[in-house]
Structure 1
Amino acid sequence: MKISPRLVIFFAACLLAACANAPRPDAPSVATDVSTTLTERGWEMVWNDEFDGNTLDRSKWAPEVSCWGGGNQERQCYLDRDENVIVENGYLHLRAFADDVSGPSVHMEHPDYPGETVSRNYASGKVRTRDLAYWTFGRIEGRMKLPGGQGAWPAFWMMPQFDVHGGWPLSGEIDIMEAVNLGAACFDCDAGTVENRSSGALHFGKKPPENEYVTKRRPLTAQPGQDGLPRDQFHSYAVEWGEGRIDWFVDGERFYSVSSDDWYTDAVDKSDDPNAPFNEDFYVMLNFAVGGAWPERDNETGLDPEILPSEFVIDYVRVYQCAQDPETGRACMMDD
């Protein structure tokens, strides 16, 4: 694992782990079991935010300010203001609502940022660890409650810190959790007629429009000790990322695994670097998109403005390193 100089290195992580791993009162009992299993497998926490206090810890997170639409025709502006990025009662809240707002027309890494000013009809929140904390290999986990409705698109994902192999998707993208349109009509779900799935994915390959991805969706299941439908409950989402393999988990259950045989980057010959691009530093992001190409083409289609205001609620984000195998992370991953 590599980490930026501005982040205090957690040499005391093992002293903090007992407190940080303790589930909140509304956490399902599986949380304790998962934490115990992680310790037994050798995962050691090296970075975390439990969102205690009443302000965003800006040594760990930087809000994004942009209205460019994420390359997906999203309808919101992401703004750095208290109405959209809130820490209170032990949770991070990314809130989206209708509002006439303006902001940068290009993303924050664009050479012309902020570019022209554009106006949108929705405001939302997005935070990221870019330039503050980033890792190569590890277990990245968050516990969160997702917003629902036609057009809601929460995401917990990772992007390359340095774009070693070039712009998207040559340097890769790791989607730990995405969900669209939860609670809307679903015409291709395995069970029921209502959307109730989250997904994990990788993006890689060649420059658009020849970019590629792999993905799998998983129905959310009811959690003990929590009220409401599965899609309205808190769930934990994680990836375990090692050299040549990435596994996805929901509530401690592995549901998807991808190996380096399934990915590549057009920037590097596969025989020279078989694990590229997923062997470089990646940072973490959390955001609540309003509308966009994916949610608006699926389920009931379009954006239902009645779903707003709404919020994406995050209990914690934790990053673990494989103590006995930090160079590859594989020793702590589950058997194939």
Structure 2
Amino acid sequence: MNMKPFTLLLFTLALMSWGCSKKEEVSEKPWKLVWEDNFDRNDIFSTGVWTKMNRWGDNCCNTMSNDPSLFEIKDGKMILLGVTNKDLKKDPSPYLTAGVWTKEKKFFQKGKIEVRCKLEGTQGAWPAIWLVTKDTKWPEDGGEIDLIERLNYDPFVYHTVHSPFTYKKKAGPKNSTSFPINPDDYNTYAVDFEGDVIRFYVNGLPSFVYSRMPGKESEKQFPFDLPFFLIIDMQLGGEWVGEVKPFDKPVRMYIDWVRFYQR
């Protein structure tokens, strides 16, 4: 299948979504880099920032493992693996995946997160980079910003915001979209959650916006001014992506760097 017309269509629709969104005044004050991790040291779990993710839930994160073989630091990259489990006696999960988060260690509030990474694909792969509000109980409280999610071999990623308001599927602004990427190379993804509008970018191009609605505070439509922790994980299988097609070689998620900016 020729993907070029499809990719062009996605790009056009994404720009239309951006252009049709509520006009908001954007600060002209420049962004200032306040924190970054270039993964240029092997002991990233001793930096006071990252922890290996626990296995939890019954959907996207139910194959997480802290097996050291699933985590690599090489050539200034953090590499998270997904593999077929060859020892079901040790762990009953058919697949094992790696994930990291900054939960209970580092939080991000009113700024911009930027991540450069490359995502390998396989049928059933579901790598994601997302932000979850600190010390909140879902879905009654708090919010989630999915900077990217990619399914299978898709030549695009999804941006999504979640809140108690969107969870109840109330009428409001569109809370998700897709945007084309170079599926075989590194891409840079960013989300600005500084003010009353959440702005997403792919390789410097505006890709999606989600705005605060006046008078919806009691319905928790925009709980995105709270502190967030960051999650980066390789996932295999789940309701959305579907079943995993058996594979032999590991599927990898290469993280070049993570940066946080504020004004």
Q: TM-score range by the shorter chain?
A: 0.7 to 0.9
- In structure 2, distance between residues paired with 1:263 and 1:138: 24
Contact 1:149/1:307 (CA < 8 Å) preserved in 2? Answer: no
Residue equivalent to 1:168: 139
- In structure 1, distance between residues paired with 2:127 and 2:112: 20
Are residue 199 (structure 1) and residue 145 (structure 2) matched? no
- In structure 1, distance between residues paired with 2:85 and 2:215: 40
Matched ranges for 1:159-238 at <5 A = 159-163=132-136, 166-168=137-139, 170-182=141-153, 195-205=154-164, 210=168, 214-220=175-181, 230-238=182-190
Three-state SS of the structure 2 residue aligned to 1:293 is coil
Are residue 61 (structure 1) and residue 50 (structure 2) matched? yes
Instruction: Please report how far the alpha carbon of residue 57 of structure 1 lies from its aligned counterpart in structure 2 after TM superposition.
Output: 4.0
Residue equivalent to 1:82: 68
Residue equivalent to 1:334: none
Letter in 2 for 1:233: D
Matched ranges for 1:37-56 at <5 A = 41-56=29-44
Letter in 2 for 1:96: G
Three-state SS of the structure 2 residue aligned to 1:134 is coil
Contact 1:61/1:129 (CA < 8 Å) preserved in 2? Answer: yes
- In structure 1, distance between residues paired with 2:221 and 2:60: 31
Contact 2:84/2:247 (CA < 8 Å) preserved in 1? Answer: no
Query: What are the superposed Cα offsets for residues 83-135 of structure 1, whole Å, 9 maximum, x if unpaired?
Result: 11221210000011011568xxxxxxxxxxxxxx9731111111011111112
- In structure 2, distance between residues paired with 1:254 and 1:149: 27
What count of residue pairs does the alignment treat as equivalent?
232
Residue equivalent to 1:241: 193
Instruction: Please report how far the alpha carbon of residue 238 of structure 1 lies from its aligned counterpart in structure 2 after TM superposition.
Output: 0.6
Worse overlay, 56-65 or 148-157: 56-65
Matched ranges for 1:262-301 at <5 A = 269-270=218-219, 276-296=222-242
Could you tell me which of 81, 86, 96 is aligned with 1:95?
Answer: 81
TM-score relative to the length of structure 2: 0.79
- In structure 2, distance between residues paired with 1:246 and 1:140: 11
Instruction: Please report how far the alpha carbon of residue 275 of structure 1 lies from its aligned counterpart in structure 2 after TM superposition.
Output: 6.7
Larger radius of gyration: 1
Residue equivalent to 1:124: 97
- In structure 2, distance between residues paired with 1:71 and 1:93: 24
Three-state SS of the structure 2 residue aligned to 1:242 is coil
Instruction: Please report how far the alpha carbon of residue 139 of structure 1 lies from its aligned counterpart in structure 2 after TM superposition.
Output: 0.6
Residue equivalent to 1:6: none
Letter in 1 for 2:41: G
Query: What are the superposed Cα offsets for residues 140-195 of structure 1, whole Å, 9 maximum, x if unpaired?
Result: 000000121210011011001121xx32363110011111111xxxxxxxxxxxx3
Contact 1:140/1:238 (CA < 8 Å) preserved in 2? Answer: yes
Compared CA separation, residues 80 and 245, structure 1 to 2 (3 A): same
Compared CA separation, residues 197 and 262, structure 1 to 2 (3 A): farther
Residue equivalent to 1:260: 212
RMSD: 2.7
- In structure 2, distance between residues paired with 1:169 and 1:154: 26
Letter in 2 for 1:318: R
Identity of aligned residues (%): 26
Contact 2:164/2:221 (CA < 8 Å) preserved in 1? Answer: no
Three-state SS of the structure 2 residue aligned to 1:269 is helix
- In structure 1, distance between residues paired with 2:221 and 2:194: 10
Worse overlay, 49-58 or 124-133: 49-58
Task: Identify unmatched segments of 5+ residues in structure 2.
Answer: 1-27
Query: What are the superposed Cα offsets for residues 204-225 of structure 1, whole Å, 9 maximum, x if unpaired?
Result: 12596x36781110111xxxxx
- In structure 1, distance between residues paired with 2:236 and 2:53: 15
- In structure 1, distance between residues paired with 2:210 and 2:222: 13
